[in-house]
Amino acid sequence: MNRYLTPRRLIFGFAFCLLLAAFGCDGDSSSGPGGDGSAATDLSSSDGISSSNETQQKPLSSSSSTKIDGSSSSVKGAGSSSSSKVSSSSTARSSSSSAPRSSSSWVLPLNYEITYDSLIDDRDGQKYYTLRVTDKFTDASITVMAQNLNYGTMVSGDSEQSNNAVVEKYCYGDDPENCNRYGGLYQWAEMMALDNSCNTTSCAHLVADTSNHQGICPDGWRVMTHNDFDIVINSSGDGVRGVRSGLFGGLNTSGYTLMGSGGRSPTKGFEGLRTLAIWFFPNEHGTTYKETRAYGYGINSSSNTLVAYESSLENKTYGGALRCVKAE
């Protein structure tokens, strides 16, 4: 008999195999203990939970109370004046895509009980939420952006918006991320798509219809007017608090989501981020100051009063935010 096959060695070998079986070892080193670990790697890559699913914020469009119900049809806008800045011939179109986001995890603090639509500005692909608001006293309605416009080329706050060939914007603190969050800041002439000389001279003849002036808004949209904002203010019953977002000390019951975008002062500094919102209307000031001033409104985070700003905050060279209203 071969010495390797003695009964004692056979019994020992059989017992060893029983021990291996008890520990789940079938002799295949690729999947059991003592292997290269590939089985564990496959489990984490195919069956495990991706880390991005654990850390990514929930998109606004996935909220059950926020509806994006857009149309794919485009809206043709009005043409611009020959004296205006160069404008795009592209159109703004509605979209059912998800909420606009900045590059960080910050998201727009919308009212999730409001049904929003959205539009895409074909000039640069930016997406904006929009909503329909109705004045509770007059029943007048408008469709308005729920975000400030963020269009144009950023320029430094210590310079004027003087390049009449392109649309220019300030970003608070010269930080592009603030434009992504709060929108651009525009001088009056820039906002109206006029030559920058209109900041120091009267150009009322170039804004003949102040109730329907496109300015730098997307095609099919126009610059907000005093009457438009009255409709927004009266749409919720909560006045100024109903207009301001929660991050701006308000209730946002209107869904308008006004942000504390601050401004760029005529002295070339920035002021009021998260505490002040200011914007212009198409109307120049009365006969006394029409060369250098235009009408505008402002709201701060600590007051429930709507302020018609005077002095330096009405100066056309102030940089304020812009909301656009759908031309109807």
Measure the CA–CA gap between 142 and 151, rounded to whole angstroms.
Answer: 22
Report which DSSP code applies to 170.
Answer: B
CA 37 to chain centre: 46
Q: What is the CA radius of gyration of the chain?
A: 30
- Residues of 248-267 as b/e, b for ≥16 C-beta within 10 angstroms? bbbbbbbbbbbbbbbbbbbe
Give the pLDDT mean for 111-129.
96
Give me 89's structure tokens. 């011939």
| Of the candidate ranges 69-73, 178-182, 280-284, the one whose mean pLDDT is the lowest | 69-73
> What's the confidence (pLDDT) of residue 42?
32
pLDDT reported for residue 254: 97
Out of 53-57, 140-144, 216-220, least confident range = 53-57
Average pLDDT in the 75-86 region?
Answer: 40
Express as a percent the part of the chain with pLDDT over 90.
60
**Residue-wise pLDDT tens digits, 286-320:** 777 889 999 999 899 988 877 765 444 589 999 99
Verdict on whether the full-model pTM lies above 0.95? no
Which of 45-54, 108-117, 307-316 bottoms out in mean pLDDT, i.e. has the lowest? 45-54
How high is the pLDDT of residue 288?
A: 79
Residues in contact with 40: Cβ distance below 8 Å, sequence separation at least 6, in sequence order = none
Tell me which of 19-33, 129-143, 183-197, 309-323 is least confident.
19-33
Q: Using CA atoms, how far apart are residues 87 and 124, in angstroms rounded to an integer?
A: 12
Q: What is the mean pLDDT of residues 15-43?
A: 37
- Which of 41-50, 66-75, 171-180, 242-251 has the lowest average pLDDT? 41-50
Of 126, 135, 74, nearest to 102 (Cα)? 126
Residues in Cβ contact with 71 at an 8 Å cutoff, skipping those fewer than 6 apart: 94
Q: Which of 32-36, 141-145, 212-216, 242-246 has the lowest mean pLDDT?
A: 32-36
* Contact (CB, 8 A) for 306 and 300: no
More confident residue, 282 or 7: 282
